[in-house]
Structures are given as C-alpha cells and as structure tokens.
Chain A
C-alpha cells in the first residue's frame, strides 16, 4: 500500500488563507476600534474644553418651548422627552398620510403611462420627469411660499361649499362629533370584517373544490357595510358634524391642517409619487406580453386577467422598490425643519440649540429613523415573502 502522506497543512503561517483572513479581520477590527476610541477621546476632550455637559439627564427637564401642532397634549413646561415624542408623532403623521396619497397618485400615474390615449400618456410622462428632476427641498419651499403668500388671509378664506376653508392659516374641514354611535359603527365594521374574511375563505375553498366562482368583493363589502351601519344605528344614529366657521381671526369648530403640514405633505406626495409612478410602470412592463395573451386565450376577462395574472406578477417586482420609496418619504419628511413643521428633526434641533447637547440630540434623531427604517423594511420583507414566487 503506497503511503499517502497528506501534506502538512501550514496552519499558522502567512501561506494559509484562513490564517491570513483572521489577521485581516483582527486588523480591521482594531483599526475601527482605534478610530472610534480616537474620536471618542477627542469628543470628551472637546467637551471638557468647551464646558459642554453630557448625558441624557436633560430629557426629564422642562423643554421650555412651544410646539405649533401636536397630536397629544403638550405644554411648553413639559419635559424634553415629551417634546421629542410630539416630534416623532408629527413625523409619523406626515409620513403615513403622505405614503397613502403618494401610493394612490403614483399608481394612477404609473398606470396612466399605458393609457390608450396619447394625451394621458404624455401628461403622466411630463409629470414624472418634471417632479422627480427638481430637488424636493426646492419644491417644499415653493409650496410653502404658495401657502403663506398667495392664499387669502384668514378673515377672507376660500370656501368650498361652506364646509372647507383654505386660507393662509391652513385648511379647515368638518369632522364628525365623536360619540358612542361612531364607536359602535367601528366595532360593527370590525365584526363585519371578521365575518367577511371567514366568508371569503369559504368561497375560495368552494372554488378550489368545484370551480364555482362567487363574488369575492361585493358580498364581503356588503357584510362590512351592513354591520357598520347596524352599529351606527344601534348607537342612535348620531350625525353631528363639527363644521368650521370663520369668525374674524379664528376658525371656530371643525379640524384644520396648518400650512406647514400642508406644504410638507404636498411637496412630499408630489415628489415621491413621480418615483412611485416609475416603480409601478416598470413593474407592469416587466410582465411579459405572453402572459396577457395566455390569459386572454383562457377566456379571462380584462378585469380578471389584470387581477389574477398581471397584478400578482408585477407586485413581486414592485414591492422592493416601493419599500424604499416609503422609507424615502419618511426620511424626506425630515426636511420639515426647513419650513418649520415640528417634526422630530426640527424639535431635536431646537433642543440641541437650547441645551448644546449635540451628541445626544443627533443620537435621538438617528435612533428614531433607524427604528422606523428597520421596522418598515422588516414588515415589507415579510409582505414581500408572501408575494414572492412559490418555487418548488
């Protein structure tokens, strides 16, 4: 038997790839560690030289500044952490409303690029090219200027049917007066939703067994609506609306959005919808024409082939870039600081100027955005997995 001597593997020499890798990694970590240590050391020295205090203790001290608009009750003597919370909620508010509007507008514009009508195609194309090629900050400035300079003063607002009012002080609109009726209606809708989901499952199972199709939208929709109206009636059918009424320099009743909020929302929505339109367009274009023809040859109607063949396939392409557009809208809402909408960045900036604790305030901003970004991408990844191809 010939002796098969395996060559002695040089483990701890420069010739071993794994050993070299280890050395590289240790060196990289050391370099990063030293860099961080150096910066931290400098920071401490600088802070000592300038007499800056550090630590998050200031969060419990009274903030001492007013905030123009807030979802929760806030006074200027409330502590800093509450001011930051107000800012966070304002950021989330404008981001969520913006995402909804931008998605609807963007989807319409994206689908419009496939219109049979050349005018619609051209207008959608022109919109996309104009709005995505101009910095969003500039657009915000322009909308803010329009809202604060070109609208009439509050004592002479533009009125739409005596219900909606638009003036330099913002947009006022009627809201229902909250009472048990609305709560019961909400509860009814929730129960209806549950029944509708159960019904849809039943219908789907029957379809898979027998091939018989039944309405998947109309009947569940009716169930939800009936339950909601039932709840509303059970609560005494309240229909009190608080309608805004201009009285000199104030608007009585109703709810209102400030010009800062409106300018930020409009700027973000118009800018982002141009990007979303491109995402939707490329998603639809990615479904090959053969798929449409196959659906037609199977006898599917236009609506069915859209819902069952084209949309599920294009959604797979659309979701990942859509996620990053949603994150962009959230991150771009930080531009609020330039027009004075009290979002988290602008409040942290005020806090920074008042307390001088730059490290802490910027850490708060970054932590907030990182949390929002990472949780959004986690959710969208989960949704994306559901929509992905089920491969064998």
Chain B
C-alpha cells in the first residue's frame, strides 16, 4: 500500500468580530428585519436631516434683526431672538447694569454645588463653606453692604432664581428629610404615624397645589400683617415638598443597613442618636447619594412651576422677555429651544453624575 501524505485542507481564518465592519454587520444588518429598519431610518434621515440642518444652521439668522428674521420665517430659525434677549431670559427683571452680581453669585453657588459632588470634599468644613457662600449669595443678590445697590427680591429672576430655588430647597430639605425618615422607622407609634401622614399627604398632591398654598395660604397662616416675602414662601413650599420625596429616598438607604449593625452598636452601649449618627447614617447616606441626585434633578425641573405663581425663573423670564415685544414674539419657539438646551445641559450632566456615583457605590460593595 502506497500511503501518500495528504494534508487536510486548512481551516478558514476566524471571522473577525471586532472593528467597524463586523460591528455594522451585527448591529445594523444582522437579520432581514434589522436591514429593513436600518434602510427605513436611513431614508428618513436623508429626507429629514438636510432641511433640519438648513433650518437650524445654514439658513438661520443669528444677528438680532427682527426684519431679517421675519423674511426667513419658515426657512430658517431666528436665533437672533436669543442674541437680542438672552440677558433678559437668563437674568429676568434684575437691573441690567447689575447683571454681574447674579452672575457672580450663581457661579459661586454652582461651583460649590459641583465641589460638593466630589467625594474628597465630603468633610466637616464643607458645611462652613456652604454657610459662607450662601451668605455671599444673598449679599450679592440683595445688595446693601459694600455700597451695592439694593435689589429687592421681586426683581430676582431667570437662571439664578432657578438654581437658587433648587439648591436651597434641597439643602434645607435634606436635614428635615433625615429626621422624617428616621421618624418613619421609629418604634414610637405617634411619631411614626405623624411622619407617615406627612409623607403620604405631600406625595399625594401635585407641587402646584403646594405652591398655591405657599402663595395664597401662607399669608393667612402668619400673624396679621407679618407675611414673609413671596420668594421665601415659595422656597418654604418647595422645601416642604422636596422633604417628603427625599425622606422616602433616605428611608430606602436606612432599610438597606443590616439589622446586625444596629444591634452591634447597641451592644456597645450606644444610645439611639449615637447609633444613628455614627453607625447607620454614614452608611445609609453613602448609598442614597444617587437617589438624592435624582431628587435634585426632579426639583430643578419642578422649579419651572413657580412661574405659575408669578415668580420669574428661567421659564417665566422668557415669557416676560417676549410676551410684551411684538417684534420678537413670533420667534418664541426658538427662545424655548434655547432654554430647553439650558435645562437639558444641567439635568443631563447631573444624571450622568448620578449614574457615575451609583457605579462607584456599587464597586465599593462588591468583593
């Protein structure tokens, strides 16, 4: 037998699964349905994108010229309305020459908010910094000392008011919400039911009814002739509202702490408050940071509602800037898109941060 060496045929090279082309093949042209969908969206994009681009950018009017904008109606967007009115939209009725004050005050506040999001700064002295910055914020906004012209709070508006309402209400609501959350888990029936009633009552009604209460009822609740400023009342209303939602978030964190931790603390002879302060809260609050962030985003968006009770924050300031100006009123939609972008940038950044911190927290939990 003549046994010849016969090599078997070489195996085909492995299919490339990485890189652009294989990605396109699996993700855009994986199966017939997928191909149809891709081609359908592609056709839509070819049909829609060029006109959208020309409306948004190439045919759009960027200079503040109402006549040019009128001519370009239907063809291109009128970003001129933003060029012309952005100071009014962003700062509301605040005196024009003094705009640097809310700008500086808000920048300080935003910088502090961002810094508060960095774990390295979660120290005791941060509270001190907060007190200083809040004081500086009010001095800058209100005026008075250092020869600053006094600007009463009914003239505050625009983005500074939005950020201020959101930041201060959440900061004020936070300690309150911890107390309520602890109360809801308390062994004392009277305190527990008070907290439950408060939380469920507030969560059962819309924010707008709380704001109506702040603007119509709070003046009645105060001693005769001593009603606080509408800004303070609305801030109090939003704070009470946020506290109920925040309390539920905090309670979620409290529930995640194993009972053994509390029992261990008790067996060391710690009192209730020592246990909460040194054992339970540090662990629980670290867990709820993403949740608190989501609450903050919700409150940030909800501040737009104060325009219904005549406080001119970002959304209200836009109406103020355009409604009385017949030249620019037709281009309100462009102005709306402008503040949509502002809200989106803030909220999107915060939700990214929330996701990131959530990942970090879960990393520290996995072993």
Contacts and interface: CB of A to CB of B under 8 A. Distances in A.
17 contacts: A32-B194, A42-B221, A46-B221, A117-B27, A117-B30, A129-B348, A135-B302, A135-B304, A138-B336, A138-B343, A145-B332, A334-B208, A337-B308, A338-B308, A362-B217, A373-B203, A374-B200
A21 B223 contact: no
Nearest to B222: A42
A334 B194 contact: no
Nearest to B340: A134
Interface in A306-337: 331-332, 334-335, 337
B212 A362 contact: yes
Contact of B213 (A117, A133, A145, A362): A362
Contacts of A24: 188, 191
A354 to B, nearest CB: 13
A51 to B, nearest CB: 13
Contacts of A301: none
Interface residues of B, number: 54
Interface in A76-120: 116-120
A190 interface: no
A370 B221 contact: no
A187 interface: no
Chain B at the A interface: SS class: helix
Shortest Cβ-Cβ A-B pairs, 4 listed: A118-B27, A133-B347, A25-B190, A331-B206
Contacts of B351: 129, 133
B255 to A, nearest CB: 14
Given A116-B30, A352-B212, 7 more contacts: A21-B188, A25-B190, A28-B191, A46-B220, A120-B37, A129-B351, A132-B347
Interface string B326-367: 000010110010011001100110010000000000000000
B204 A374 contact: yes
Given A135-B302, A142-B333, A145-B333, A359 B224 contact: no
A358 interface: yes
B205 A366 contact: yes
Interface of A: 21, 24-26, 28-29, 32, 39, 42-43, 45-47, 49, 116-120, 123, 129-130, 132-138, 141-142, 145-146, 149-150, 331-332, 334-335, 337-338, 345, 349, 352, 358-359, 362, 365-366, 369-370, 373-374
Nearest to A46: B220
Given A49-B224, A334-B206, A365 B344 contact: no
Chain A at the B interface: SS class: helix
B301 interface: yes
Nearest to A365: B209
B187 interface: yes
B208 A335 contact: yes
Interface in B4-35: 26-28, 30-31, 34
Nearest to B23: A118
Interface string B288-315: 0000000001000110110110000001
Nearest to B191: A28
Interface of B: 26-28, 30-31, 34, 37-38, 41, 187-191, 194, 200-201, 203-209, 212-213, 216-217, 219-225, 297, 301-302, 304-305, 307-308, 315, 330, 332-333, 336, 339-340, 343-344, 347-348, 351
Contact of A117 (B28, B216, B302, B315): B28
Contact of A335 (B213, B305, B336): B305
B204 A369 contact: yes
Contacts of A138: 304, 315, 336, 339-340, 343
Nearest to A372: B204
Contact of B201 (A133, A335, A337, A370): A370
A47 B315 contact: no
B357 to A, nearest CB: 17
A133 B294 CA distance: 11
Given A42-B222, A141-B336, A134 B343 contact: yes
Given A117-B27, A337-B208, A42 B191 contact: no
Contacts of A136: 301
B27 A133 contact: no
A345 B208 contact: yes
A46 B208 CA distance: 23
Question: Most chain-B Cβ atoms within 10 A of its Cβ — which of A49, A116, A120, A134?
Answer: A134
A365 B343 contact: no
A358 B339 CA distance: 33
A49 B27 CA distance: 72
Contacts of A142: 333, 336, 340
A117 B206 contact: no
Nearest to A131: B344
Given A134-B344, A362-B216, A370-B205, A39 B221 contact: yes
A17 B207 CA distance: 39
A138 B338 CA distance: 11
A374 B223 CA distance: 34
Contacts of B297: 133
B194 to A, nearest CB: 6
Nearest to B208: A334
B224 A119 contact: no
Contact of A365 (B200, B212, B348): B212
